[in-house]
Chain A
């Protein structure tokens, strides 16, 4: 059973650019959530994808967008990068269980994005 993987590990961009971060969910998981963790802070929920559909969104502007593929891997896209977007971006996967709730989510190692 493979865990959650993310790519790239590190990324440096300049203000105004666009970036795409990738996440491969754990085998058997159909739900992917993305979190932003600024330095010294706890992770903040960006959005979640369930079976290729967005299933909830946190307090992030529309320039943060996502996608989930048929194999349940996912992408996070950020347009018009700002300095405050510098953070560790974490992906977590989980699977739905009987009763409608999701089981524990497992986190990947994250992508460190630096915006200059």
Chain B
């Protein structure tokens, strides 16, 4: 079955600390992988995406993610978190030729000053 698992429901970090949000997927074909961020009461904003090529992808707001096929993972990282990064983060996977995405249940990030 196709699925996305985000093991951490809630993560709290101090401002300036590094961040890693985990994402594991189960998918039968070559996956297209995405990270979205959702602020309270808002829609989803794309942070970054991976289709092929370099397995380390750079996104907006200083985020990056690394695709590891052997581990079926696509973890999101940021070297130094800002208070404005507090939000809900969703990992998603989709087929190669369309965009019917399967989302994880999300990780809520809280940032302390």
| Residues on A facing B (Cβ under 8 Å) | 4, 31, 33, 35, 40-45, 48, 55-56, 58, 90, 92, 94, 99-102, 104-110
Contacts and interface: CB of A to CB of B under 8 A. Distances in A.
A58 B102 CA distance: 10
A68 to B, nearest CB: 15
Given A43-B90, A104-B49, A33 B43 contact: no
A33 B41 CA distance: 19
17 contacts: A4-B43, A33-B100, A42-B4, A42-B90, A42-B92, A42-B105, A42-B106, A43-B103, A45-B100, A48-B99, A90-B44, A94-B99, A99-B97, A101-B96, A101-B97, A101-B98, A110-B42
Contact of A107 (B43, B49, B97, B106): B43
Contact of B98 (A40, A42, A48, A106): A48
Interface residues of B, number: 23
Contact of A109 (B43, B90, B103): B43
A14 B80 CA distance: 46
B17 interface: no
A108 B49 contact: no
Interface of B: 4, 34, 36, 41-46, 49, 90, 92, 96-106
Residue among A4, A43, A94, A102 with the most chain B CB within 10 A? A43
A105 B44 CA distance: 10
A42 B43 contact: no
B97 to A, nearest CB: 4
